[in-house]
Amino acid sequence: MSALQHEDRVLIQTAVDKFIQDHYAFDERQARLQDAGPAGRHWRDFAELGWLALPLPEAAGGLGGGIEDVQLLMRAFGRGLIAEPFTEVVLMAGKVLEAAASGNAHETLLADIASGSERLILAADFETSSCAAQPTGEGYRLDGTSAVVVQAGAATRYLVGAQLNGEFALFLVPRSAVGLTLCEYPTIDSRSAGDLTFDAVLLPHGALVAQAEQASRSLFDGLLFTLAALVAEAEGIAAALTEITAGYLKTREQFGVPIASFQALQHLYADMVLAEEEIRSLAWLAANALHMEDRGARERTLRAAKARTGKLGMAMAETAVQLHGGIGVSDEYVVGHYLRRMIALDATLGSADEHILYLAGQY
Amino acid sequence: MLKLSQQEQDFRDEVRAFIAAHLPADIKYKVDNNLLLKKSDHVRWQKILHEKGWFAASWPEEYGGKNWSAVQQYLFDQENALAGAPFISPFGVNMVGPVVYTFGNQAQKDAYLPGILSSDTWWCQGYSEPNAGSDLASLKTPARRDGDEYVINGTKMWTTQAQYADMMHMLVRTSSAGRKQEGISFLCVDMKSPGISISPIVTIDGLHHTNQTFFDNVRVPVANLIGAEGDGWKIARFLLEHERGAIADTAAKSRALAAIRARLRLLEADGMNKDRLLQFKLRTAELDAQTLALIAMEQRYLTEWQKRSAHPAEAAALKVRGTELQQTISVLVADLHGPYKMAYDAAYIDRGEMPENRSPAQEASGGGHLYLYGRCASIYGGTNQVQRNIIAGSRLR
């Protein structure tokens, strides 16, 4: 549901379209990635444009936007191949923190996320955590690893999921904590991820954000919100791919005619359009499904939408590459980068196969 | 399965033993882990084979070959790929070599064949152009006759390995009269000629395999023309026909599937969720069955081509099924890395080193490389759409 007024949404749409046009030209991509810094070149702009505050509660310095407002941004971010860690900081970590810190002292951190001064990154997934926290006299001791934390290098702090007394708990861990190591590597979508290792990291009592039911419910709600946003990002990519591919098919000539005149290619293109339409419908569905009362039904719906989006997104991007022929597999052309982002999207928060397996287990 | 004579079985065993004993470990490591092979890797291996007399062995003996039968060559290619040896770079030995001994004059045979045999002369191929891809016959790069030389102006796309090459075999336009296929000629060009410049094309895997090559008043001796002016199309078709046996490259698939099964055993031992494991096993079994079918198709054609000439639709069938299977396998390889499927370190793939402690992200990068570069396979050498046109045309026309 959109929480903003229509006029505000129009302003956001105009701003994000203009931003991508002015600052995110694909052919300047190399330079942009090279001097990106830990959070991309434009993190400050994201803050100034209000995007970092968009989905966070007004009481905590946010704009109180809903999933549909976020989806509007995400569609544009998909098209623009935005490399900044918006999803990771504002959605995954931000929305989990919003629920987990509700009414406690950590709520002020939301305002720092909204202003861009703190970048919180979530180290937890749907899967059970492989980190464990032990109470000590002064607080907690944290041990374990968290693998493939996307954009881990952008963090000023981590929000870490760990088992505490047999229950799930969320802790705030500073980037510079003693005993915390980060092993970073590039990802297929030209961003980065990292593996976090916690080796006897000592935390004060105040590092505990939430535990037990509140912690797992917060994680669950935040991740489902993120899934609905990721489907919208895929929608933005899909729309860009069908548009760019149509342009190519209509202008590229072989055998003396535009290749759009070949039925074999028309049918492949039709499959791309079908995928785009389906993903757009899934993004709409996912936004509505977030408001479902039944928690189980909500989870099944979001997971099914993510699974289907992952499969369709990769398949249609592969087709876009194929329809471009050689130019499609050139690094200097945008289509291959959309495919690479679709792969990363599928791998984020559970691949299609993993969600399907979960769903099959529910029958 | 191909029924082998005792002689053929002995031959296969000999090949297997030789490769096991002589394949350098660092090269095998690169192949097994989907890292980027460099020219030096290819040359080192090809020289080992040459010394044994097994490089270009299907060439006639008078040109330095061993007159291998198609079955012998097939068995060798299978063993070579199964063992994790580099694929044989085709531009010299499988493409221009047979063209030179079939269509070339004595001076050309003397000039070109020894360097191909020793791998001291590296070849690349200049066929496609920016506006001549699927419609190759529409190529435009003119070679204008000027005394004893041709003068070439234009550009060639997708000149793979041109950055390494000493020579290029290329198709040029020597006439614009008649059908467009008729004005094409086949030239051998020294890559050190003044006026040649190479612009790298980085592919979707973030690596440098291929190039665009530019020709600015490049002068090539008329002596480098193979056959007569206008023979280029005929020669190019001969050359592509010559490549057909290797199109499906099934042994590389068999090797990839063996690696997948080994990884499944590891994941099982590590206690992976049983249902998740079964999901992977089902996909693997499906791919094993598909590979079996492709091997059957490949071997049946191989047998029939010894009795009759090949039909273009048969080679097209191998190309379509072979590349589709390669791509499906690569998705599974990538998926087996779980969330690390997202990791892709192109610089690590390019360095091709053997680290003592490989990180999961580096291991997964090999799968990413297989997947990304594999997207090219259904495009180069005639897209799968063009191949399907050939298949449909063979039955519907």
Nearest to B232 by CA among B181, B158, B188, B167: B181
**Quick one: how far is CA A63 from the chain centroid?**
19
The token pair at B130 is 């920016």
Please tell me which residue of chain B has the smallest CA distance to A344.
B342
Going by C-beta distance under 8 Å and a sequence separation of 6 or more, which residues neighbour residue B56? B50, B63, B64, B65, B93, B97, B116, B117
Model confidence at A1, pLDDT cuts 50, 70, 90, reads low
Three-state SS at B53? coil
Of B134, B275, B375, the CB nearest to A254: B134
**So what's the pLDDT on residue A128?**
65
The token pair at A108 is 């002020």
Give residue for tokens 């000027």.
B146
Q: Which residues of A touch B133 (CB under 8 A)?
A: 254, 325-326
Residue B112 lies in a domain: no
> pLDDT by residue (tens digit) across B49-105?
999 999 999 999 999 999 999 999 999 999 999 999 999 999 999 999 999 999 999
All structural domains of chain A, each given as residue ranges with its CATH number in brackets, are 6-115 (1.10.540.10), 120-212 (2.40.110.10), 215-361 (1.20.140.10)
Give residue for tokens 């096991």.
B20
Of B135, B376, B385, the CB nearest to A264: B385
- The DSSP call for residue B105 is -
Q: Measured in Å, how far apart are chain A's first and last C-alpha atoms? A: 29
Please tell me which residue of chain A has the smallest CA distance to B339.
A347
Q: Which residues of B touch A359 (CB under 8 A)?
A: none
Residue B283 lies in a domain: yes
Partner A contacted by B382 (CB < 8 A): no
Of B157, B279, B345, the CB nearest to A326: B157
Q: Which residues of B touch A268 (CB under 8 A)?
A: 385
Residue B285 and residue B179 share a domain: no
B202/A268 CB distance under 8 A? no
Backbone angles phi, psi at B31, to 5 degrees: -65, -45
B342/A188 CB distance under 8 A? yes
pLDDT tops 70 at residue B305: yes
Residue B270 and residue B144 share a domain: no
B158/A326 CB distance under 8 A? yes
Report the DSSP pairing between strands B123-126 and B167-173: parallel
Three-state SS at B226? strand
ipTM here: 0.95
Decide which of B62, B88, B114 is a domain's last residue. Answer: B88
Give residue for tokens 């919180």.
A120
Task: Determine the distance in angstroms separating the CA of B41 from the nearest CA of chain A, rounded to an integer.
Answer: 25
Task: Determine the distance in angstroms separating the CA of A322 from the nearest CA of chain B, rounded to an integer.
Answer: 7
Residue B158 and residue B181 share a domain: yes
CATH number for the domain harbouring residue B29:
1.10.540.10
CA angle (B303, B309, B315) in 5-degree steps:
75
Residue in A92, A148, A266 to test binding to B, most B beta-carbons within 10 Å: A148
If DSSP states are collapsed to H, E and C, what string results for B122-145? CEEEECCECCECCCHHHCCCEEEE
Please tell me which residue of chain A has the smallest CA distance to B340.
A148
Residue B114 lies in a domain: no
Going by C-beta distance under 8 Å and a sequence separation of 6 or more, which residues neighbour residue A201? A141, A142, A143, A173, A177, A178, A179, A180
Residue in B199, B270, B342 to test binding to A, most A beta-carbons within 10 Å: B342
Q: How far is residue A332 from each of residues A42, B25, B205, measured CA to CA in Å?
A: 22, 35, 11
Residue B349 and residue B221 share a domain: no
CA distance A210 to B285: 45
Q: How many CA atoms lie within 13 A of B124 on its CB side?
A: 22
Residue B391 and residue B254 share a domain: yes
Model confidence at A67, pLDDT cuts 50, 70, 90, reads very high
Three-state SS at B177? coil
**So what's the pLDDT on residue A30?**
82
Residue B102 lies in a domain: no
Residue B330 and residue B215 share a domain: no
Q: Is the pTM of this model over 0.90?
A: yes
Please tell me which residue of chain B has the smallest CA distance to A337.
B204
CA distance B233 to B185: 7
> pLDDT by residue (tens digit) across A270-304?
999 999 999 999 999 999 999 999 999 999 999 99
> pLDDT by residue (tens digit) across A169-209?
999 999 999 999 999 999 999 999 999 999 999 999 999 99
Three-state SS at A290? coil
A195/B360 CB distance under 8 A? yes
Task: Determine the distance in angstroms separating the CA of B289 from the nearest CA of chain A, rounded to an integer.
Answer: 21
Task: Determine the distance in angstroms separating the CA of B17 from the nearest CA of chain A, rounded to an integer.
Answer: 38
If DSSP states are collapsed to H, E and C, what string results for A169-214? EEEEEECCCCCEEEEEEEECCCCEEEEEEEEEEEEEHHHEEEEHHH
A351/B341 CB distance under 8 A? yes
Q: Which residues of A touch B158 (CB under 8 A)?
A: 326
Residue B188 and residue B278 share a domain: no
Model confidence at A36, pLDDT cuts 50, 70, 90, reads confident
Nearest to B200 by CA among B164, B233, B254: B164
Residue B148 and residue B173 share a domain: yes
> pLDDT by residue (tens digit) across A296-332?
999 999 999 999 999 999 999 999 999 999 999 999 9
Task: Determine the distance in angstroms separating the CA of B203 from the nearest CA of chain A, rounded to an integer.
Answer: 4
Q: Where are the alpha helices (DSSP H) in chain A?
A: 6-23, 29-34, 43-48, 67-80, 86, 94-100, 108-115, 212-251, 263-289, 295-324, 334-347, 352-361
CATH number for the domain harbouring residue B137:
2.40.110.10
Interface of A with B (CB under 8 A): 125, 147-148, 150, 183, 185-189, 193, 195, 253-256, 262, 264-265, 268, 318, 321-322, 325-326, 328-332, 336, 339-340, 343-344, 346-348, 351, 353-354, 357, 360-361
DSSP run (H or E) holding B300? helix B274-305
B341/A361 CB distance under 8 A? no
pLDDT tops 80 at residue A84: yes
pLDDT tops 70 at residue A75: yes
Nearest to B111 by CA among B180, B189, B218: B189
Task: Report, as an integer, the average pLDDT of A322-346.
Answer: 97
Amino acid at A327: I
Residue B93 lies in a domain: no
Nearest to B389 by CA among A262, A258, A261, A326: A262
A343/B389 CB distance under 8 A? no
Partner A contacted by B127 (CB < 8 A): no
Decide which of B88, B104, B131 is a domain's last residue. Answer: B88
Residue B221 and residue B250 share a domain: no
pLDDT tops 90 at residue B392: yes
| Beta-bridge partners for B209 | none
CA distance A330 to B245: 28
B372/A340 CB distance under 8 A? yes
> pLDDT by residue (tens digit) across B20-55?
999 999 999 999 999 999 999 999 999 999 999 999
**So what's the pLDDT on residue B277?**
97
**So what's the pLDDT on residue B245?**
67
Mean pLDDT of chain A: 95
Report the DSSP pairing between strands B184-190 and A208-211: unpaired
Residue B203 and residue B133 share a domain: yes
Q: Which residues of A touch B328 (CB under 8 A)?
A: none
Nearest to B155 by CA among B167, B139, B169: B139
How many structural domains comprise chain B?
3
**So what's the pLDDT on residue A327?**
96
Q: Which residues of A touch B378 (CB under 8 A)?
A: 322
Residue in A126, A324, A329, A362 to test binding to B, most B beta-carbons within 10 Å: A329
> pLDDT by residue (tens digit) across B231-258?
999 999 998 877 776 789 999 999 999 9
CA distance B59 to B52: 15
Three-state SS at A162? strand
Decide which of B202, B230, B258 is a domain's last residue. Answer: B230
State which residues form the domain around B64: 6-88
For the CA atoms of chain A, what is the radius of gyration? 21
Mean pLDDT of chain B: 95
Q: At what angle do helices A212-251 and A263-289 cross, to 10 degrees?
A: 160
Residue B238 lies in a domain: no
Show which of residues 267-326 on chain B sit within 8 Å of chain A, judged by CB atoms: 275-276, 279
Q: How far is residue B156 from each of residues A192, B216, B388, B397, measured CA to CA in Å?
A: 35, 12, 26, 33
Q: Measured in Å, how far apart are chain B's first and last C-alpha atoms? A: 32
Three-state SS at B99? helix
Nearest to B157 by CA among B179, B174, B138, B143: B138
A264/B388 CB distance under 8 A? yes
Q: Give the alpha-carbon dihedral of B184, B186, B192, B198, to 10 degrees.
A: 50
Task: Report, as an integer, the average pLDDT of B142-169.
Answer: 97
Residue B44 lies in a domain: yes
Task: Determine the distance in angstroms separating the CA of A65 from the nearest CA of chain B, rounded to an integer.
Answer: 30
In the A/B pair of chains, how many CB contacts fall below 8 A?
119
Q: Which residues of A touch B368 (CB under 8 A)?
A: 188
Task: Report, as an integer, the average pLDDT of B390-396.
Answer: 96
Q: Which residues of B touch A326 (CB under 8 A)?
A: 128, 133, 157-158, 379-380
Residue B109 lies in a domain: no
Residue B391 and residue B303 share a domain: yes
Residue B351 and residue B285 share a domain: yes
